[in-house]
Chains A and B, each alone.
Chain A
Amino acid sequence: MAALLRGLRAGRAIRGLGSVVAAPTATTPQCRSLRRSFHCAALRLQDESKSDKPPSSSSTTYHEHYQAHTTEQYTTAASQGDSASDPAAEEASRPNTSYQDQSGEQGEEYETEEQLQARILTAALEFVPQHGWSMEAIAAGAETLGLSSASTGMFYNGAGDLVLHFIAQCNSQLTEILAEQHKQVQLGQAEPKKTADFLRDAVETRLRMYIPYIETWPQAMSILLLPHNIPDSLKHLSTLVDDIWYYAGDRSTDVSGSYHPRSPSSTAHTFLSPSHHHPHDIRPATIQMNWYTKRAALTGIYNTTELVMVQDSSPDFQDTWNFLDNRIQDVVNMASTAKQVQSTGEAVVQGLMGAAVTLKNLTGVNQRR
Chain B
Amino acid sequence: MQRAAHTALYDWSQIVGPATIRQCLKCKAPARQSSRAYGVIPAPRDTDEREMLHRILRVDHAGEYGANRIYAGQMAVLGRSRTGPLIQEMWDQEKKHLEKFNEILAENRVRPTALLPLWNIAGFVLGASTALLGKEGAMACTVAVEESISEHYNSQIRALMEKDPERYTELLQIIKEFRDDEMDHHDTGLEHDAETLPGYWLLKNAIQLGCKAAIYVSQRV
Contacts and interface: CB of A to CB of B under 8 A. Distances in A.
Interface string B117-137: 100110000000000000000
B196 interface: no
Contacts of A179: 29-31
B206 interface: no
A242 B30 CA distance: 12
B40 interface: no
Contact of B27 (A112, A161, A243, A289): A243
A92 B26 CA distance: 32
Contacts of A183: 31
A291 B112 contact: yes
Contact of A259 (B2, B103, B116): B103
A259 B102 contact: yes
Interface of A: 51-54, 96, 99, 102-103, 112, 114-115, 117-118, 161, 164-165, 167-168, 171-172, 175, 178-179, 182-183, 232, 235-236, 239, 242-243, 246-247, 251-255, 258-263, 280, 282, 284-285, 288-289, 291-292
B202 interface: no
Contacts of B20: 168, 232, 235
11 contacts: A54-B10, A114-B13, A118-B18, A168-B19, A232-B19, A242-B109, A246-B109, A255-B65, A258-B99, A260-B106, A289-B114
Contacts of B111: 291
Nearest to B123: A282
Nearest to B4: A52
Contact of B120 (A232, A251, A288): A288
B72 to A, nearest CB: 6
Q: Is the interface of B mostly helix, strand, loop or mixed?
A: helix
Interface residues of B, number: 46
Given A96-B3, A168-B22, 20 more contacts: A54-B11, A99-B6, A102-B9, A171-B23, A172-B26, A182-B30, A235-B20, A235-B23, A236-B23, A253-B102, A253-B106, A255-B65, A258-B102, A261-B35, A263-B33, A282-B65, A284-B120, A288-B117, A289-B114, A289-B117
Contacts, number: 118
B152 interface: no
B29 to A, nearest CB: 7
A360 B114 CA distance: 42
A251 B116 contact: no
Contacts of A172: 22-23, 26
A261 B2 contact: no
Contact of B106 (A114, A165, A258, A282): A258
A251 B101 CA distance: 12
A121 to B, nearest CB: 9
B199 interface: no
Nearest to A239: B23
B7 interface: yes
Contact of A253 (B29, B68, B69, B112): B112
A164 B26 contact: no
Contacts of B7: 52
Between A165, A251, A282, the greatest number of chain B beta carbons within 10 A of the residue's beta carbon is seen for A282
A36 B68 CA distance: 55
A175 B109 CA distance: 15
Given A118-B18, A232-B19, A258-B99, A285 B117 contact: yes
A172 B20 CA distance: 11
B214 interface: no
Contacts of B27: 175, 239, 243
B112 to A, nearest CB: 5
A226 to B, nearest CB: 15
Contacts of B35: 261-262
B34 to A, nearest CB: 7
A155 to B, nearest CB: 10
B98 A255 contact: yes
A261 B6 contact: no
Contacts of A288: 116-117, 120
A251 B106 contact: yes
B97 interface: no
B176 interface: no
Contacts of A118: 18, 22
B105 interface: yes
A53 B21 contact: no
B181 interface: no
A50 to B, nearest CB: 10
Contacts of A115: 18
A103 B25 contact: yes
